[in-house]
Amino acid sequence: MTDAMPSLEFMKAKAQGNVLVVTLDRADKRNALSAAFIEEICALFEWVRRSEPVRAVVMKAEGSVFCAGLDLIEHHLEDRSATDFMYICRRWHAAFDAIQHCGKPVVGALNGAVVGGGLELASSFHIRVADQTTYFALPEGQRGIFTGGGATVRVARLVGEARMVDMMLTGRVYSGDEAVSVGLCQYLVEGSSFEKAMAIASKAAENPPLSNFAITSGIAHIGNMASGDAYYAEAFIAGITNTQPASKDRLAAFMNKSAAKVLKD
């Protein structure tokens, strides 16, 4: 049995079948991430990891902006010391690790600004869907600060080091097809990013949970390894995943010609 979902102040979360729809709910502050908001993300995604009925997550936002990043006003008013902010950053790392490694596919339904810490949040999702209003930027340089929520790893992996340095030095904004081509998002839709994200999440939710755990965490961990170690780890993951009962059932279905073939759309 799964324990109760933590109570939420800055987000809403509601199951639609086996997909949990999480909505950032601080639209009046453009979903800026305060320290308490980050703690709530940690608690919710620790719960998602434990929750068996949840097979996938869609994260969307209330209002015209997906996420404006660090709560700059809280940061300014708190007048934090270097040590204070170092610990704040470590909580951001914990929150976004909790998302990336919750074991379930997390799909972002993006709209409007996805900037600074908002892009750090979005880069912890496994799939990002943009709509025609979505844009991405890292305005840290212009604000006189630096990324602290994992962008140096996750955003640099998505777009490459040179593009990230350019984004931070110049405030360059990416949107539309260009955002897809540089790797900031995988899908760009004409209509609702939420509808597309739900379709993707519902499809991914049909995969066996162990396969989704291996895909959503294994590739990222293996990316940190030297190739000899990576092949060794891959063999371990495949040893466990490719012999699970759910895989045996699906392979039997293929042998019996009752499974879908891989055909182009």
Specify the residue, 5 or 72, whose C-beta has the smaller distance to ligand 1HE: 72
37-76 binders of ligand 1HE (CB under 6 A): 64-65, 68-73
Least Å distance, CB 151 to ligand 1HE, is 8
b/e burial code for range 170-208 (CB count within 10 A of at least 16 → b): eeeebbeeebbeebbbbbbbeeebbebbbebbbebbebb
Find the radius of gyration of the CA atoms of the chain. 19
Residue window 9-28: x/- pattern of binding to ligand 1HE, with contact defined by CB under 6 A: --------------------
**Could you say which of 103, 105, 108, 149 contacts ligand 1HE (CB under 6 A)?**
149
CB of 37 to ligand 1HE, least distance (A): 11
Residue 77 CB, nearest approach to ligand 1HE (Å) = 10
**Least Cβ distance, residue 253 to ligand 1HE (angstroms):** 46
Site for ligand 1HE in 156-185 (CB under 6 A): none
* Contact pick of 140, 163, 164, 184 for ligand 1HE (by CB under 6 A): 140
Q: Which stretch binds ligand 1HE (CB under 6 A): 3-11, 111-119, 155-163, 233-241?
A: 111-119
Q: How far apart are the first and last CA of the chain?
A: 39
When CB distances to ligand 1HE are compared, the closest residue is 116
Q: Which of 32, 26, 30 minimizes the C-alpha distance to 9? A: 26
Q: Does 92 bind ligand 1HE (CB under 6 A)?
A: yes
Q: Which is nearer to ligand 1HE, 81 or 258 (CB)?
A: 81
From residue 59, give the alpha-carbon distance in Å to each of 13, 41, 85, 101, 120: 9, 11, 26, 15, 14
The residue (of 85 and 233) whose beta carbon lies closer to ligand 1HE is: 85
Among 49, 91, 143, 250, binds ligand 1HE (CB under 6 A): 143
Pick the closest to residue 116 from 91, 82, 144 (CA basis): 144
- Go through 105-125 and write b for each residue having 16 or more CB atoms within 10 A of its CB, e for each that does not: bbbbbbbbbbbbbbbbbbbbb
Report residue 30 CA to chain centroid gap: 18
Q: Which amino acid is at 90?
A: R
Nearer to ligand 1HE, 34 or 202 (CB): 34
Contacting residues for 233 by C-beta, under 8 A, at least 6 apart: 218, 221, 222, 225
Q: Which of residues 181-240 bind ligand 1HE (CB under 6 A)?
A: none
Active centre residues (catalytic): 120, 140
Q: Name the one range near ligand 1HE by CB under 6 A: 1-9, 53-61, 139-147, 215-223.
A: 139-147
- Residues making contact with ligand 1HE (CB under 6 A): 29-30, 32, 64-65, 68-73, 89, 92, 113, 115-117, 139-140, 143, 145, 147-149
